[in-house]
């Protein structure tokens, strides 16, 4: 049960030393994007392979005719930075970029929508320059929205003007169909009074939530605010009352709402989750109003409204994490001869930004989306780190969860091989340390799994924890040893327990209620004939698939939800909850609701008013208070299993059913139950503000996953004179009845139950 030594700290330190001594680093820090300067705006763009770049300004978001055109100069030939400073422009200016390169050299006779100068749609080096495609600035702090969409055959599609790669699409001007970038003045926002919560990771409880979906069904929020930044701001106190410390927002970077990958988007099937980023610095405009078509807003208003939301959350002591998608983009991928989307990176420097196949007219990906951003390239690394620093320093964000972060560690000459000490991963960790923000990795992609392999400074979503706990709770007899590792966070490769971000459910997969109500996915509403979503749910439905009116099944399901939440919050590490699980939201068995911007994907707030939903909510609040009040459940270092307490007691003792200490082969017996004592006096690492040692209470925790009642014995007197039951998942609100167990006494534990006993030093 003890952690194995890890070399990753020393390896990371050696790599950092190499960087300091002159190893390849990110491109020089010329400010990229549109920067307000005295009397005007400086535009700066990276491109290693372009031969000409222009910035065009526009009067409206849908204009195709520019107000003016300005040519950028390659002012930094070492780092490939192109710049131009334009007098008379200011905040609110609308603009776009056009670029030429080896496959389409500049010709002064060229006009938008022509083929003048054209050589090929893609050349042997992977260049895909096309001046007919107006591009957004990758560093734009706001854009005017999405590409123009059209309704065809009952489904929405984006205008084909944004496509290139073939003669049919490549010789069409996209300016009228493309959103425009907006010059933003970040200095205009008043952060006066904002105080960052600065929660230690070990004290954090994260809450994964979709910003828009969270309030779409919430009648406590004014109807004109539901689904918006302001609507989310109105719920700030809810998170504090519940007992979480941070919200982890599904992607809020600008992404296309209306482009579902299966047959086009409909009113009920859209790109809801948002894992198709187009702009890494711009907050999503769609979250300004419940219905953009019927509201009035100003250019760039989304920037200030996001900041106001963050400020309100901070005022409640709630940190803000963003789910960021630096592994791929909405531009997708295809080989020569097929149409491809042009938004920004492809048209500015396809061969640098993306990981290409051996045949560089095609793409290589490990994300399942058609492309990988090539994070081993200095320009991509800079894009990632600049984005993180911007959202942290200018937008108030406290932490980031990296979607498919394994992809960011792929290096080598072709950007395809994972390196656990990849320069990009190291530099992100260094930026997090230097700027005091938190980083969490989804430590896998479609081609690799690296939980426990990321460098020092990273926390990681722990899919192994999820699977071990689900298996035991569904009475899989072989998982008790794995559950011990889960509860103590002693995973090979982690430096501290807090690096393990534990979760039972997340946006991927079943909700908590569905996990105990369905064993099979029911994703027909997604339009993919139930092919999408995992089949490995590790779920138990109690004997009936889906809804049931059998009171015994209903009671068993409710208890299982309580058991799963208790196991999560009594485990070492950083727990994460899924929005709506606290009152039993159901997605009707859909375990991949990525396109469900409707009641399937929105938390059902009516559940909070229902008797069982309200009871689950009260239960979770009680459980969160227990964790918050007692540091023994959220240590900052691993258990040793050794006698380190002032009285020679061990910091953790694993127990057999007869109360004796587990040893060796004992882990192979009693496969459906686990009992252990956490000693609060042996936790000498719990220090106060002056460095003083803090004594905590000691607890006996008993987990029983079996389907029948079982008998156990309380620990012997050497571990405590008596034990008082203070928490019980058999009770709907978790309230312990105060039962006193003298040392060594026998007691019965009901089926499928978790109980917590506090040690008493004096017999009552």
Task: Please identify every residue annotated as catalytic.
Answer: 403, 442
Which residues touch 10 (CB under 8 Å, ≥6 apart)?
none
Contact (Cβ atoms closer than 8 angstroms) between residue 58 and residue 136: no
- Measured CA to CA in angstroms, residue 200 lies from 197, 206, 252, 634, 687 at distances of 9, 12, 24, 11, 13
Per DSSP bridges, beta strands 68-71 and 73-76 are unpaired
Separation between Cα atoms, residue 175 and residue 182, nearest integer Å: 15
In terms of phi and psi (left: phi > 0; alpha: psi -120 to 50; beta: otherwise), the region of 88 is: left
In terms of phi and psi (left: phi > 0; alpha: psi -120 to 50; beta: otherwise), the region of 559 is: alpha
What are the strands, taking DSSP E only, across 371-465? 399-402, 410-411, 417-418, 438-441, 444-445, 448-449, 459-461
Separation between Cα atoms, residue 312 and residue 494, nearest integer Å: 34
Contact (Cβ atoms closer than 8 angstroms) between residue 138 and residue 280: yes
Contact (Cβ atoms closer than 8 angstroms) between residue 592 and residue 508: yes
Only one residue has tokens 């009901």, namely 750
Which residues touch 11 (CB under 8 Å, ≥6 apart)?
420, 421, 455
Contact (Cβ atoms closer than 8 angstroms) between residue 500 and residue 469: no
DSSP string, 651-720: SEEEE-TTSPBP-GGGGGSSTTEEEEEE-SSS-TT-B-TTS-B-----EEEEEE--SS-EEEEPPPGGG-
Q: At what angle do helices 423-435 and 378-393 cross, to 10 degrees?
A: 20
Only one residue has tokens 């709770």, namely 473
Separation between Cα atoms, residue 583 and residue 625, nearest integer Å: 17
**DSSP β-bridge partners for residue 502:** 575
Separation between Cα atoms, residue 582 and residue 686, nearest integer Å: 29
Separation between Cα atoms, residue 443 and residue 463, nearest integer Å: 9
Contact (Cβ atoms closer than 8 angstroms) between residue 126 and residue 360: yes
**DSSP β-bridge partners for residue 723:** 741, 759
Contact (Cβ atoms closer than 8 angstroms) between residue 80 and residue 97: no
- Measured CA to CA in angstroms, residue 244 lies from 236, 247, 463, 549, 619 at distances of 11, 8, 21, 32, 14
Strand ordering across the sheet containing 753-760: 652-655, 673-678, 699-704, 753-760, 722-728, 740-742
Q: In a 10 Å sphere around its CB, with 0-12 CB exposed, 13-18 middle and 19+ buried, how is residue 208 labelled? A: buried
**Would you state the structure tokens that stand for residue 277, as one six-digit string?**
């980023």
Contact (Cβ atoms closer than 8 angstroms) between residue 407 and residue 375: yes
Query: Where is 740: in which H helix or E strand?
Result: strand 740-742
Separation between Cα atoms, residue 45 and residue 277, nearest integer Å: 19
**Would you state the structure tokens that stand for residue 222, as one six-digit string?**
């004014």
3-state secondary structure at position 395 = coil
Separation between Cα atoms, residue 330 and residue 278, nearest integer Å: 6
- Nearest C-alpha neighbor of 538 from the set 566, 518, 557: 518
End-to-end CA distance of the chain: 34
Which backbone phi and psi does 418 adopt, to 5 degrees? -70, 135
């Amino acid at each position: 049960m003890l952690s194995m030594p890890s070399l990753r700290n020393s390896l990371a330190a050696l790599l950092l030393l190499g960087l300091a001594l002159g190893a390849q680093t990110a491109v020089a820090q010329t400010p990229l994007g549109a920067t307000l300067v005295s009397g005007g705006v400086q535009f700066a763009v990276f491109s290693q392979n372009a031969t000409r770049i222009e910035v065009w300004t526009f009067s409206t978001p849908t204009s195709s005719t520019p107000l003016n055109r300005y040519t950028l100069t390659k002012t930094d030939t070492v780092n490939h930075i192109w710049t131009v400073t334009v007098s008379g422009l200011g905040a609110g200016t609308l603009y776009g970029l056009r670029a030429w390169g080896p496959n389409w050299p500049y010709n002064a006779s060229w006009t938008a929508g022509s083929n003048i100068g054209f050589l090929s749609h893609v050349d042997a080096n992977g260049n895909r320059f096309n001046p007919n495609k107006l591009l957004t600035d990758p560093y734009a702090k706001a854009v005017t929205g999405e590409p123009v969409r059209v309704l065809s055959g009952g489904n929405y599609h984006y205008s084909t003007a944004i496509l290139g790669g073939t003669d049919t699409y490549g010789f069409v001007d996209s300016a009228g169909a493309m959103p425009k970038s907006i010059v933003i003045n970040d200095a205009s926002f008043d952060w006066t009074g904002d105080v960052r919560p600065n929660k230690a990771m070990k004290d954090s409880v994260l809450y994964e939530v979709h910003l828009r979906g969270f309030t779409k069904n919430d009648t406590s929020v004014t109807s004109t605010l539901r689904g918006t930044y302001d609507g989310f701001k109105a719920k700030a106190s809810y998170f504090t009352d519940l007992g979480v410390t941070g919200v982890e927002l599904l992607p809020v970077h600008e992404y296309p709402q209306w482009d579902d990958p299966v047959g086009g988007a409909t009113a009920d099937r859209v790109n809801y989750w948002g894992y198709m980023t187009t702009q890494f610095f711009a907050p999503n405009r769609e979250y300004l109003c419940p219905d953009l078509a019927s509201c009035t807003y100003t250019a760039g208003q989304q920037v200030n409204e996001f900041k106001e939301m963050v400020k309100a959350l901070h005022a409640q002591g709630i940190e803000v994490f963003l789910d960021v998608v630096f592994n791929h983009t909405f531009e997708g991928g295809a080989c020569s001869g097929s149409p491809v989307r042009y938004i920004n990176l492809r048209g500015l420097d396809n061969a640098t930004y993306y990981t290409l196949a051996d045949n560089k007219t095609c793409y290589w990906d490990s994300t399942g989306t058609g492309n990988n951003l090539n994070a081993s390239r200095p320009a991509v690394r800079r894009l990632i780190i600049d984005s993180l620093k911007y959202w942290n320093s200018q937008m108030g964000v406290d932490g980031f969860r990296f979607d498919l972060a394994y992809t960011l560690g792929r290096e080598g000459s072709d950007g395809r091989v994972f390196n656990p000490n990849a320069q990009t991963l190291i530099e992100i960790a260094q930026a997090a340390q230097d700027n005091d923000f938190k980083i969490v990795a989804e430590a896998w992609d479609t081609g690799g799994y690296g939980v426990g392999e990321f460098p020092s400074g990273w926390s990681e979503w722990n899919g192994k924890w999820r699977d071990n706990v689900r298996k035991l709770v569904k009475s899989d007899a072989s998982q008790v040893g794995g559950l011990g590792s889960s509860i103590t966070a002693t995973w090979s490769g982690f430096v501290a327990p807090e690096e393990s971000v534990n979760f039972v459910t997340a946006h991927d997969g079943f909700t908590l209620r569905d996990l105990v109500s369905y064993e099979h996915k029911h994703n027909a509403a997604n339009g993919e004939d139930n092919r999408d979503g995992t089949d490995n749910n590790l779920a138990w439905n109690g004997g009936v698939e889906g809804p049931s009116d059998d009171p015994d099944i209903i009671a068993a399901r409710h208890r299982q939800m309580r058991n799963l939440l208790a196991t999560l919050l009594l485990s070492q590490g950083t727990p994460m909850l899924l929005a709506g699980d606290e009152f039993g939201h159901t997605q009707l068995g859909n375990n991949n609701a990525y396109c469900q911007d409707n009641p399937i994907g929105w938390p059902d707030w009516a559940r909070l008013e229902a008797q069982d939903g309200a009871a689950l909510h009260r239960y979770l609040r009680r459980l969160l208070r227990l964790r918050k009040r007692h540091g023994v459940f959220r240590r900052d270092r691993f258990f040793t299993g050794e006698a380190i307490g002032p009285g020679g007691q061990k910091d953790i003792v694993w127990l057999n059913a007869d109360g004796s200490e587990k040893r060796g082969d004992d882990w192979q017996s009693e496969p459906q139950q686990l009992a252990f004592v956490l000693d609060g006096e042996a936790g000498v690492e719990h220090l106060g503000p002056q460095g003083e040692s803090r004594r905590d209470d000691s607890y006996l925790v008993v987990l029983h996953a079996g389907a029948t009642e079982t008998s156990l014995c309380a620990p012997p007197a050497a571990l405590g004179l008596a034990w008082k039951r203070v928490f019980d998942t058999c009770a709907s609100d978790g309230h312990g009845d105060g039962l006193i167990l003298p040392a060594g006494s026998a007691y019965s534990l009901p089926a499928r139950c978790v109980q917590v006993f506090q040690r008493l030093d004096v017999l009552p």
